[in-house]
Structure 1
Amino acid sequence: MADLKETEANQAAAEVSAKEQIPDTKEVMPKTRKRTGQRAGAVRTGAAKSAPQASSSKAVASPTVRTARKIYSETERAQKLGAIEKQIGQGESIRTAVQKAGISEQTYYQWKKTARHTKQSDELKDLVKLEEENARLKKLLADRLRNENAELRKKLGLA
């Protein structure tokens, strides 16, 4: 009986090793992948591969080096905008004034646009406050006029 179990185990092992030796056709065929970042028909040559390296060496040699982006607070923005406007008022060009401030022209125009919107919202808040105060003063005036009118009627004996 033990011999029978050993022969069955040997046969099972032989079948497993035989399956491992026969390649499965589905696993042999590699899947085709789409190219990313290139057109399907484009073929990259050795010269094309070396071109970005040459341009990157030029970028390193240029005097303007790109630094990390700095995030300015609202007060810093307002100070820089004020300094730029002051320089522009003295006859300096926008480009040079912005370069002296250390920001780009696009940043300057974006900040200017947002500052204009905040000024408008501040003006709107001021207008609402004035309207509320105006309504309060109207009520106060109406109460005083009613009191004076009541006193005059008493003096004249009309009421």
Structure 2
Amino acid sequence: MADLKETERSQASTEALAKEPTHETTHETRKKAPKPKRATGRATRTGAAKSGKQAPSSEAVAPLTVRTVRKIYSEKERAQKLGEIEKQTGRGDSIKDAIKKAGISEQTYYQWKKAAGQTPGGDELKDLVKLEEENVRLKKLLADRLRKENAELRKKLGLG
């Protein structure tokens, strides 16, 4: 019996405390609780979801795409990817297909291509001069070999 009276008193005291307005629950000092933040990954809505209609089944809703970690490519890797794309387009593939096979976006491809085209002009001129010098040297070697072959053939035929 004593236990029953004791539990009734404790319930009555807790009810009285709950009914009393405290400083924290008064209207003047009450603050709104912050709204929970939404998830950062945004799902795309289907046409049915935009119009307020429900999608016919769960299969019709487009799955969320998972964003992968951004890869930073070195200059060498960029040049290799651009070379692969050029080879594939040379074989007859479309640029879009070649870019997808390389694993980069179209924007990235065009940015890399633009950056690769902006090499300093001084280096190009030096390379051109070196190529011309090598071309002259190779022409001289070829001319010497052809003269020797010509002379040997004349001897064999008895013309010279």
Range of TM-score over shorter length: 0.3 to 0.5
So what's the TM-score if we normalise by structure 1? 0.41
Q: Considering fraction of residues, name the structure with more helix.
A: 1
So what's the TM-score if we normalise by structure 2? 0.41
